[in-house]
Amino acid sequence: MFQSVTSLIPIMLRIFFMVVFILIFDFYAYQAVKTLTTDSSQGFKKGIRIAYWVVNISFYILALLAMGGILVHAPRFIYVFVTGFFAALFFAKIFMIIPLLMEDLYRIFHKLTSLFAPQIATPEEKGGANLVSRKTFISQVSAGIGLLTFSGLGYGIVKGAHDYKIHRKDVSLKNLPTGFKGLKIGHLSDIHSGSFWDKKAVERGVAMLMQEKPDIIFFTGDLVNSLSDEMNESYIEIFSRVKAPMGVFSILGNHDYGDYHQWPDRDIMGIGNHAHSNKSHMSPMQLANLEQLIQIHKRMGWDLLMNENRILERGTDKIALIGVENYGAKGRFARYGVLSEAYDGTEEMPVKLLLSHDPSHWEAQVLKKYPDINLTFSGHTHGAQFGIETAGFKWSPIKYMYKQWAGLYQDGEQYIYVNRGFGYLGYPGRLGIRPEIGIVTLV
């Protein structure tokens, strides 16, 4: 019992510092609310200030209930509302305090310089009226930024989460057999069924893929967030509709192994969530969860490749399809993938396609050791679910971690296509980076 209590101390400390951190942000943002209501009537001023804390504290309580699993059996849209709009509030306040912080730094700078050069007036010395006007203006800017951020993230939940977009790319491969010219590949990734809250929207996305009539379909991992039962019967039925003449082939992503779940029969979460992992750390419950997920792939008619390959045939022509388990070369993502095993037996194939969930695998191993793997299909990044993407410009903060994060990339005669993801994780929405249905044609 003593050991179980001591194991909780690091978790409790993290929660404590997180709460303190959030409260500091709240008090800082509250200064803008105070300033903006200074000249209001006493009743309005009091009502707005009380409402600020009631809304924030309510969301904290609901978010803690959600993280504690108490809301896990509530309707999915309630869970999404709580976690999603809590995230929207939090990020709104982060951006909201930037002007306030800059103003405070400006005042501190003038205060310090006045100690050495008294002739330099501080903001306070320039006159109370100017100071109030300045503080009001900064507060208005701060509130505007906060409102814009909250509105944008709210829109990303209500509309952006299921605003599916078809991305099309033609890829010219050296030595492509005649029988495979024009092969139309449908590409899905990062479904994350445990985050879904709009079943009809998901059905619409699947229907969009099927309307493209691809010859073959690839799924590049993260079917669930952690637990196999996130793929309940209704979603199994929906994704069983994903079919193609040459079959549907899938692999596992980092979330599919259950490494991020606190299993009752495992003392420490995430033991295997690091480089060079094998499955020896997995408890019986975690292994059973993984086996159930494997069976779900089979029930849907998907051919799950776990460090193995398949030879694809069209007429008399053949190419190789290689599928590896998750291999993360960045961060503390597990490396279950063994490309040498998956590659074995494909040496004589004129063209080799690879399914590998994490795009960092491409530069870490594929480019260095396997120059004859022509085209890799990946996912994992989600495009950060946030960014800017127009016809001539593409940006997301995820680009600072992953060099290949969305779309097609080339190095010599080798390519990688990174899918932006079908679903979402954490923040239950998307803003600027829409959920993707990929269509890649070999030409």
Q: What are phi and psi of 320, to 5 degrees?
A: -105, 140
Coil/strand/helix, residue 272:
coil
The radius of gyration computed from the CA coordinates of the chain, to the nearest angstrom, equals 26
Quote the pLDDT of residue 398. 97
Crossing angle, helix 76-116 and helix 128-158, to 10 degrees? 150
Quote the pLDDT of residue 319. 98
224-230-231-235 Cα dihedral, nearest 10 degrees: -110
pLDDT tens track for 33-89: 887 787 778 888 888 888 888 877 877 777 666 655 565 566 767 777 777 877 888
Query: Which CATH code is given to the segment(s) 163-442?
Result: 3.60.21.10
pLDDT tens track for 140-165: 888 888 889 989 999 999 999 999 99
Average pLDDT over residues 288-307: 98
Banded model confidence at residue 1, pLDDT cuts 50, 70, 90: very low
pLDDT at 193 over 60: yes
pLDDT at 97 over 70: yes
Quote the pLDDT of residue 229. 94
Quote the pLDDT of residue 67. 58
Mean pLDDT, the chain, whole residue set: 87
Banded model confidence at residue 102, pLDDT cuts 50, 70, 90: confident
pLDDT tens track for 181-192: 999 999 999 999
pLDDT tens track for 229-254: 999 999 999 999 999 999 999 999 99
Q: How far apart are the first and last CA of the chain?
A: 64
pLDDT tens track for 310-350: 999 999 999 999 999 999 998 888 899 999 999 999 999 99
Q: Yes or no: say if 344 and 355 are a contact pair by the CB < 8 Å rule.
A: no
pLDDT tens track for 172-181: 999 999 999 9
Whole-number Cα distances in Å, 365 to 173, 205, 330: 20, 33, 12
Quote the pLDDT of residue 186. 98
Residue of 80, 62, 89 whose CA lies nearest to 429: 80
The reported pTM is 0.85
Q: Yes or no: say if 189 and 255 are a contact pair by the CB < 8 Å rule.
A: no
Question: DSSP readout, 313-381?
Answer: EETTEEEEEEE---B--STT--B---HHHHHTT-TT-S-EEEE-S-THHIIIIIHHH-TT--EEEE--S
> What residues contact 216, with CB distance under 8 A and at least 6 apart?
183, 184, 185, 186, 244, 245, 246, 247, 248, 249, 312
pLDDT at 270 over 80: no
Please state which of the ranges 26-30, 334-338, 414-418 shows the lowest mean pLDDT.
26-30
Task: Parse the chain into domains and list their residue ranges.
Answer: 2-158, 163-442
Quote the pLDDT of residue 4. 45
Question: Angle at CA 366, nearest 5°, toward 364 and 371?
Answer: 135
Whole-number Cα distances in Å, 131 to 119, 135, 288, 326: 18, 6, 65, 57
Q: Half-sphere exposure of 368 toward its Cβ, with a 13 Å CA cutoff?
A: 8
Average pLDDT over residues 398-417: 97
Query: For residues 103 and 431, which has the higher predicted lDDT (pLDDT)?
Result: 431
pLDDT at 6 over 80: no
Q: Yes or no: say if 29 and 97 are a contact pair by the CB < 8 Å rule.
A: yes
Query: For residues 368 and 97, which has the higher predicted lDDT (pLDDT)?
Result: 368
Give the C-alpha separation, 163 to 436, whole Å: 9
